[in-house]
Structure 1
Amino acid sequence: MPLTAVHADLGPVDATLPDLGCGARWEDIHRVRPRAPLTCPGCTGAVRAKRSSKKLRFFAHDVVTPDCPHNGESLAHHLLKAELAGAAREAGWVCALEVAGNGWRADVLSTHPTQGRALAWEAQLAAITIEDVDERSRRMHKDGVGVCWVSDRNPPWLGQAPSIRVERADDGTLMVVDGLARFVPKWCPKRHKCSRLAAVGPCPGHGHWEQVEPLPLVHFAAAIRDDTTRPLRLRSGVHQAWREQDRVVRWTTAAYAALEAEQVAATEVAEAAQAAALAAYRRGLPPAPPPPDVRRRRLHQAGIAQLVAEEAPRQTGEPAVFDPPHARWAWGVPVSIGGRVRAVICPDPTAVPAVLDRLASVVLYVLADKDVDVLAGHAAPGQRIAVVNGQRRDLQLGGGP
C-alpha cells in the first residue's frame, strides 16, 4: 500500500502532491480506461490508484509480493506519513516519500532547499525494539541523513532516540506533545559560594529540564530546517521519571543546550573544589582525630548498617551490600539490595547538594530526629529522610523509592 508509484510514461508519481510530482492530475491515473501503467517502486509489481474512506490517495498492489518493503503497512501508518510530508513541505523542506538508501528506506526524506541537509521522518506505529531503532538510525547517519522517529503512541523507545510523540488538536492540527525540552537555569545569588554547600565551594547550578508545551508539527519541522533545534542527550538536571526510563534524548535549542553545558561545567568545578577540601582534610587539615560531627556520623553509619544487615533479608529476601563512603554518595554509606542502591546512611550534609540528582532516588537514613533538621537544610525539597529507631526497625528497604 505505497504512497508512491512509477508511471511508465510520467516517471515517479507521489500521491501526496497536488500535481503528483510530475505535472499530472489524480484524475489522469485514477479509474481511467485503459488503466494507468503504474508499478510499485519497492517490488516493481503492478499497482492501481485508489482512495480510502478518509480521502487518502494511495496505490494498491494487484498481487501482493512477499518481498515488497511496503507489506504490512497500515492505513494509519500511511496517513501519518502523508501528514509528516505535508508538514515538512509547509515548513520549507523539499520532501520525497518512501526513499530507499544504502540499506535503509525512509518513510519521508526531507532535504533543505539550499544547504542540502537531509532528515528522515520515520512514522513508527508498529512495535519495534530500541536496538532496531538504533540500527536503522545508524545506517541513515552513515549516509549523512539525520532521523526523527514519530509515533502517536507512547512506545518504550520514545526518548531513547531522536523522537517525538504527536496528537491531533481539536482543530485538526497535528501537535508535538512529547520529545521537546527546555532548560530552566537556577543559580545561587552569589555564584562563587553555594548556599546549599555551606560555602564549601562554588555553585554547581540547580537548574533542570522540563517538558515543552505542545507545538504544531509544522513549527517543529521549521525549527529543524533553520537548525535552531537539534536532538540532545541530557546530562544535568534531568527529571527523575525520564532518567529512570532512560528517556533522556530530547529535541531542544542551542541556547538551552548551552545553559545545560554551563551547569555541567560548574558542577565539575564545584565537585573538584569539594574533592580538594576533602583531600586537604584527609591530609590532616584539620588534624586527626576527626571533628566530633565526623566521629558521630561514623558511629551512626556503623549502627544503622548493623540494623540494615539484620532487617534487609527479612523484608526483601536479599542481603544488603555496603560500600565504603564515597563522594558520589555525599560520603554516606550506600546500601545496595538486588544490585541497586536503595539507601544512603548518614551522608555529609555539606556534600549532599553536589549530588542531589543521584540522591533523589534513594532514602537517606539518620539515627536521630535532630539529624533530620540538619540534613533537610541541605537536601532537595521533598527529599526522603528517615529516622531509624533501633527498637522499631521500620526500615522498609524492599520497595525502593
Structure 2
Amino acid sequence: MTVPTAPHVVVRGGWQPETETPDLEVRAMPLTAVHREQGRLDATLDDLGCSWDWAKIYKRRPRVPLACPECGHSIHAKLSPRRMRYFAHDPGSPRCSLTQESMAHRLLKIELKNAAEAAGWEAELEVSGNGWRADVLVTEPNSGRQIAFEAQLSSITLDEVHDRTRRMGAEGIDACWVTDRDGPWLGQVASLRVEANDERGPLAVTGGVLRFVPRWCTDPSKTFVCAPGPCAGHGSWEGAGPMELTEAIGAVCNGKLHLDRHRWWEGRYQGSVRWEFAFTTRADVDAAQEEIAARIRRDRQYEQALDSCLQDDDETKGDHRQAANQVWAKRQRDITERALALVSERAPTSEITISDTASAEWAMGVPIYAQGQPYAVLYPVAGRVSELRHRLLPVLLLAAGEAHRQLITEKADRDQQIEIVAWMHPAQETVQRALLPGWHLG
C-alpha cells in the first residue's frame, strides 16, 4: 500500500500523529459520532464541530449518549495512549463498516477533509444518506454544491462504484474516488490515484489529472500523415505530473480543474489506465478542440470525394477513389461500431459479424451477417443498386447520409429498407462539447 501510515498528517485541533506507527487500537474506530441535540461530532476538531470541548464527552458521568453515524449503535469517546481522539462502539454492537477501515484509510479521509477546508469548503467525515455513505462530504458555502470524496483503498467492482456514484448523484452530490492502486473502475468515473513521494512527504496525485500537449507540422506537405492537406495537429493527452493532494483537491473544488469525458479516438492513456473521465483545465480542452477543428477542416475535402464514390464507382475517378479509401481507413472503426450497434438493436441474435471488405455482389458495400445470414449492407454504391435490387431487397441497406439514402431510394425496390449510419468524424460530435460542471455520473 502506498498511502503512508501517518507521519505527515496533521489533524487540526484534535491530534498530531507521532513519527512512529499510529495506535493499532484506533485502526477500526469511528472518528465521528451523533448526538441527539448537537448533531454530528467530529473528533478531529477542537470544538468537535459543535462548540463543545472534548472534556464535555470524555469520561463524563453520567455518560453523554452518542451513536455511531453508520450503524446507530451506542458509542463513547476514547483517547489512545498517544492521545489520539476517537469513538469506540459499546459491547454488543452489530457488524459496522466503520470498524473495517484501516488506519491508512482513516488518514486519507482526514487529508481529503483538510484539503477541502483549506480551499474554503465545509467538510464532514462519514456522512450517510439514502443508501450511501460518503467518507468526506464537502459543501461550497455560497452555492451549496456538494462533492463526496471517497477514499477507496480496498478492492471494489466497477458496478459497485457506479451504483454508489448514482445513488449520490440522485441527491445532487458529485463523487470523486481517490485510491492508491489501479483497478477496473479507475478512470471510469471521476477519480484520482495517489501515492507518497517518500515516507514523510505529502501525498501526491499521480493519475487522473491530464494535460493536452499540442503538436503541429511546420511543413504538412512533407509529412505523410498530413499530406495531401493541411496539418490537423498531432497533439496528445498526457499525465500532468505529480501534484500535491491538497493542491489537487483545492483545484477540483474551486473549478481550476474540470472533469472532462474522453472519447476512444483521443487515446487518453496514463500508464495502463484509460481515463474515460479525467480532470483537466479549460486551456487544455481549448487546445484539444483547436486540433479537432483542424481535423474537421482537413477532412471536409475528403467528404465530397467519398460522396462521389458512393454515387458512381467509375474507376476513372482515381483521385476520388484514393481520397475515399483514405477516409474509410481513418473512419472504419467508428463507422463499423455504429453499424454493428444499429444491427444489434434490430437482429434477434447476439451473433453479429461484419465482412473485412466490400463485395461486388453486394453493390460494393460491406455485408453484415446475423447468425451467418446476410442481414445488412454498409455503404453500397448507389450506381450498382439497380442491377442488384432483387438481391438487396431482403437485407437492410445502411447509407452514409440523407443524400446517399435518397440516391439509393431512386435505384432500389420501393420496399427496400434503408437506414442512415452517419460517417461523420467523431470529433464533430464533441467539437462543442462542454466540460462537466456538475458530474452526477455513474
Could you say which TM-score interval applies, normalised by the shorter chain? 0.5 to 0.7
- C-alpha change, 1:200 and 1:36, in structure 2 (3 Å) is same
> Are 2:211 and 1:178 equivalent residues in the alignment?
no
Shift of 1:113: 1.9
Select between 115-124 and 19-28 the one with higher mean Cα deviation.
19-28
> Does the CA contact (< 8 Å) of 1:188 and 1:205 recur in 2?
yes
> Are 2:172 and 1:144 equivalent residues in the alignment?
yes
**Structure 1 residues 130-182: Cα deviation after superposition (integer angstroms, max 9, x where no partner):** 11111111122222211110112222321111111122333431221211110
**Which secondary structure does the structure 2 equivalent of 1:106 belong to?**
strand
State the match for 2:216 in structure 1. Answer: 187
> Does the CA contact (< 8 Å) of 1:183 and 1:256 recur in 2?
yes
- C-alpha change, 1:190 and 1:141, in structure 2 (3 Å) is farther
Cα distance in 2 for partners of 1:283, 1:8 equals 76
1:317-328 alignment runs, 5 A limit = 323-324=356-357
Which one of 18, 27, 43 corresponds to residue 15 of structure 1?
Answer: 43
> Does the CA contact (< 8 Å) of 1:98 and 1:108 recur in 2?
yes
State the match for 2:343 in structure 1. Answer: none
Cα distance in 2 for partners of 1:87, 1:325 equals 58
Structure 1: segments with no counterpart, 5+ residues: 298-320, 327-332, 334-401
State the match for 1:347 in structure 2. Answer: none
**Which secondary structure does the structure 1 equivalent of 2:98 belong to?**
coil
> Does the CA contact (< 8 Å) of 1:112 and 1:118 recur in 2?
yes
> Does the CA contact (< 8 Å) of 1:194 and 1:201 recur in 2?
no
Shift of 1:214: 1.1
**Which secondary structure does the structure 2 equivalent of 1:203 belong to?**
coil
Letter in 1 for 2:76: R
Which one of 70, 78, 83 corresponds to residue 50 of structure 1?
Answer: 78
- C-alpha change, 1:161 and 1:289, in structure 2 (3 Å) is closer
Following TM superposition, the consecutive aligned residue runs of length 4 or more in structure 1 with deviations greater than 6 angstroms are 281-286
Quote the sequence identity (%). Answer: 43
Letter in 2 for 1:136: R
1:92-111 alignment runs, 5 A limit = 92-111=120-139
> Does the CA contact (< 8 Å) of 1:207 and 1:237 recur in 2?
no
> Are 2:69 and 1:41 equivalent residues in the alignment?
yes
State the match for 1:343 in structure 2. Answer: none
TM-score normalised by the chain length of structure 1: 0.65
> Are 2:160 and 1:132 equivalent residues in the alignment?
yes
**Which secondary structure does the structure 2 equivalent of 1:70 belong to?**
helix
> Does the CA contact (< 8 Å) of 1:201 and 1:274 recur in 2?
no
TM-score normalised by the chain length of structure 2: 0.60
Q: Which has the higher contact order (CA 8 A, sep 6+)?
A: 2
Letter in 1 for 2:248: F
State the match for 1:264 in structure 2. Answer: 292
> Does the CA contact (< 8 Å) of 1:200 and 1:274 recur in 2?
no
**Structure 1 residues 224-253: Cα deviation after superposition (integer angstroms, max 9, x where no partner):** 2221212212235424566x7543321111
Shift of 1:219: 1.1
- C-alpha change, 1:273 and 1:124, in structure 2 (3 Å) is same
Shift of 1:271: 3.2
Cα distance in 1 for partners of 2:210, 2:82 equals 34
> Does the CA contact (< 8 Å) of 2:238 and 2:270 recur in 1?
no
State the match for 2:335 in structure 1. Answer: none
Shift of 1:19: 1.4
**Which secondary structure does the structure 2 equivalent of 1:209 belong to?**
strand
Cα distance in 2 for partners of 1:273, 1:184 equals 26
> Does the CA contact (< 8 Å) of 1:140 and 1:146 recur in 2?
yes
> Does the CA contact (< 8 Å) of 1:238 and 1:248 recur in 2?
no
State the match for 1:376 in structure 2. Answer: none
State the match for 1:62 in structure 2. Answer: 90
> Does the CA contact (< 8 Å) of 1:206 and 1:237 recur in 2?
no
Shift of 1:23: 1.3
Cα distance in 2 for partners of 1:240, 1:286 equals 43
> Does the CA contact (< 8 Å) of 1:104 and 1:139 recur in 2?
yes
- C-alpha change, 1:241 and 1:39, in structure 2 (3 Å) is closer
State the match for 2:391 in structure 1. Answer: none
Structure 2: segments with no counterpart, 5+ residues: 1-28, 326-353, 360-365, 367-442
Cα distance in 1 for partners of 2:286, 2:129 equals 34
Cα distance in 2 for partners of 1:104, 1:42 equals 10
State the match for 1:380 in structure 2. Answer: none
Cα distance in 2 for partners of 1:276, 1:55 equals 76
Shift of 1:69: 4.8
Shift of 1:210: 0.7
- C-alpha change, 1:178 and 1:241, in structure 2 (3 Å) is closer
Letter in 1 for 2:206: V
- C-alpha change, 1:52 and 1:196, in structure 2 (3 Å) is farther
State the match for 1:121 in structure 2. Answer: 149
Paired residues in the alignment total: 300
**Structure 1 residues 256-280: Cα deviation after superposition (integer angstroms, max 9, x where no partner):** 1222223233333433433433444
> Does the CA contact (< 8 Å) of 1:281 and 1:287 recur in 2?
no
**Which secondary structure does the structure 1 equivalent of 2:247 belong to?**
helix
